Structures are given as C-alpha cells and as structure tokens.
Structure 1
Amino acid sequence: MASSRPLLLERAHRPLYPRHGYSRCVCATGGGFGIKSVVSTSKKARPCPCGTDLPYKDCCSPLHESANGAGLQRPTSAEQCLRARFSAYALKTHHKMIMRSTAASNPARRGSVSSDGKVTTTFEQDVKTTQAWIDYSKLQIMGQRAAADGSEVLLDIQYCIKQVYDLQTGKKIDAPKTQVIRETARFGQEEGAGWVLLGTESTNWDRELLQVKDATVPTTS
C-alpha cells in the first residue's frame, strides 16, 4: 500500500508482500501455503489471540464459524469486528470472516495489480497471502471515538507483526524481526453484515519500503 493504506485492517488496493518472482505484488496463494479453514478443538480452548483473555471458543470463534456458513452471527460492535478480524489473521484461518467484514465500498475488494501490470490478484487471494506470510500478535486498542449518531467508530490500535518469508526468494526467515504497527481504523454498519471495516485513517506502515515509517517506532528481535 503505497499511500497510507492499512496493514492489518483494510488490505486495500495492494497486498502486503510480493511473492517470489514479482516486484511489489503478492501472487495468488489459493490455499497453496496450507491455510486451514478450521481451528482444532484444543486450540479453541486456548486464550483468544485478539487479547481479551477469553477462550477462543467463547470469543471470536462464533463469528468465524458463522462466516463459514455455520450461523448468522454478525459483529455487534466495531471492537468485536476488529478483534475477530485480528484473530483470523493471527490464526491464519477463516479468511471468509475477513472478507465479509470488509465494507462493500472498501477499495480492497477490487484486488491488486503488480507495479508492472503483469500480475493481478483477487481480494480473497490477497487476504490468504497476507495470512500466510505474516505473523500477528499483541493487539492493543489504544483509543475509541464514535460519531455523534453512532453510525461510525474510529479505533486507534497497535499490534506486532513478523514477516516470516523472504520477499525475493520466498524462503522462510530464520529469525524474523518484530515490527510494531499503529493504525486508526474506521468502522461502520452494513445491512445484513453488522459492523464492517470502512477504511483506515492512518498507519505507520510504509508499503513501498515494507517497514514502519517512523524510525523511532520499536523494532525488536
């Protein structure tokens, strides 16, 4: 995302990382990285990766399962939508929940085109690739602001990522660095979908350099 496109939340316009052989573009994964569509029973009993300390089965799992056709549950708040999206990325599962909780007006739905115009990907492919290539952890909600009529909510968030594959070779990185991402995301409601991601107001992630913009933002091993 060459401009201020978000890292976690929007997945807009351009996918996060290039696949081997292409510059600044991720090629379609199509599940080729082994993305799973379900979470094991044992993992459901563990704390949810969204940071609430609740078991996953009692937190984000119902929304994830509903997106796969197991029910009709939808996010009832901006925070719930955010946390469920983050958990899906962190667990590398339930990409359909991420897609369904992205607003119809969000440009991310158009998919991506490589800088040379030779490679195109769908929104679904972009989401799956990002899930596969990035590890997510330590979500924190730093602030929340709602519109006067309650129709939209801004969430200030911070979380950590690790790039687990080399951008050029596609090989797994032995000791990936942790980078701290800070974003402000805008959520609203859509009929039949509940709360969805409308867009991102700001992010400290530079999608051309593939690193945080502010050198003072912590980067650790």
Structure 2
Amino acid sequence: MTRNSARPTVTARPASPCPCGLDASYRDCCGRLHSGQAAAPTAERLMRSRFSAFAVRDAAYLLRTWHSTTRPSGIEFEPDQQWTRLEIVGATDGSAFHTEGMVEFRAHYRLHGHTDSQHEVSRFVREDALWVYLGEATA
C-alpha cells in the first residue's frame, strides 16, 4: 500500500461517506481519528482508519499509528492508485479488553484503469495504551 509522495494529495470532504465503509461521514468516522480528536477503540477500527488514511494519503497518520519497532522512515504513495473499498474478512481479539489483535481484510483499488485488491492479515498491538499496526501476520 505504499509508494510516492508523503504529503496528502487526496482530500475527503467532511460530509462525504467515509472511505472505510462504515455508515458515517468522513468527519464523524475516520476524520476524527486522523485529526487526533479520537483514538481507535479496537484493532478493527484502527485498520479501517488506516485504510482511509491510504485513501486520503495521510502519511502522518499512518506513521503515527505504526508500531515504533516496525515503522518505516516514510510513506510513499502510488500517484495513480485509488483505494476504493475495504472488506473486513474477519478479526481475532483486538477489542477494548485485549492487548493484541489480528484483522484479515481485502483492500480494493484501481490502478492504471485496472481493479485489484490486496489481501492481508494484519497484526495490531497496544503501544502506550493505543492500538498500532505491528505488521503483516506470518504463518
């Protein structure tokens, strides 16, 4: 999900539907997390907010929600890639009562006129009491 340009270049209007797929406006959903007004209460909500951050190209949020031991030095976005839909396949743990969780998802996108998806099982942990992305789960 990373490639070309660390600065957001795609904006989501506050009243537009949230890219994460929940039935809420961007302002009332992931926009609150991206702006720092709220923190993700579960691993799945963090996954959704990170997908939205890719969709609006918010590198600062992605880096802020990446575990300190696996965080890259920067994010580059593919300029022609448009993230179109997030499908949550399943989640294990990751609630307000857990310290670890996994979320399996398919992130759908359009690139150079073709549609495709990225399938991953992501690992999330709490760092300084906040959910963060640790990395892709390995078998």
Q: TM-score, normalised by structure 1?
A: 0.55
Shift of 1:30: 5.5
Deviation, 1:133, is 4.0
Whose radius of gyration is greater, 1 or 2? 1
Q: Which runs of 5+ in 2 are unaligned?
A: none
Alignment of 1:15-54 (within 5 A): 16=3, 29=5, 31=7, 35-36=8-9, 39=11, 43-54=13-24
Q: What is the DSSP-based 3-state SS (H/G/I as helix, E as strand, rest coil) of the residue aligned with 1:180?
A: strand
- Report the counterpart of residue 104 of structure 2 in structure 1: 156
Looking at secondary structure, tell me which structure has more strand per residue: 2
Alpha-carbon displacement from aligned partner over 1:9-28 (angstroms, at most 9, x marks no partner): xxxxxx55xxxxxxxxx6xx
How many residues end up aligned between the 2 structures?
136
Q: Distance in 2 between matches of 1:89 and 1:76?
A: 19
Query: What is the root-mean-square deviation in Å for CA atoms of aligned residues?
Result: 2.3
Q: What TM-score, normalized by structure 2, do the two folds share?
A: 0.84
Specify every segment of 5 or more residues in structure 1 that has no aligned partner in the other structure, as ranges: 1-7, 9-14, 17-25, 110-122, 164-172, 203-221
Match of 2:48 among 71, 78, 83: 83
| Aligned residue type for 2:118 | I
Q: Is the CA contact (8 Å cut-off) linking 2:34 and 2:53 kept in structure 1?
A: yes
Counterparts of residues 1-221 of structure 1 (less than 5 Å): 8=1, 16=3, 29=5, 31=7, 35-36=8-9, 39=11, 43-66=13-36, 71=37, 73-92=38-57, 94-106=58-70, 108-109=71-72, 123-124=73-74, 127=75, 129-130=76-77, 132-146=79-93, 150-163=98-111, 173=112, 176-191=113-128, 194-201=130-137
Identity %: 26
- Provide the C-alpha distance between the structure 2 equivalents of 1:54 and 1:190, rounded to a whole number of angstroms: 27
Q: Which amino acid aligns with 1:88?
A: A
Q: Partner of 1:207 in structure 2? A: none
Q: Relative to total residues, which structure has the larger helix share, 1 or 2?
A: 1
Letter in 2 for 1:137: T
Q: Counterparts of 2:133 and 2:45 in 1: how far apart (Å)?
A: 11
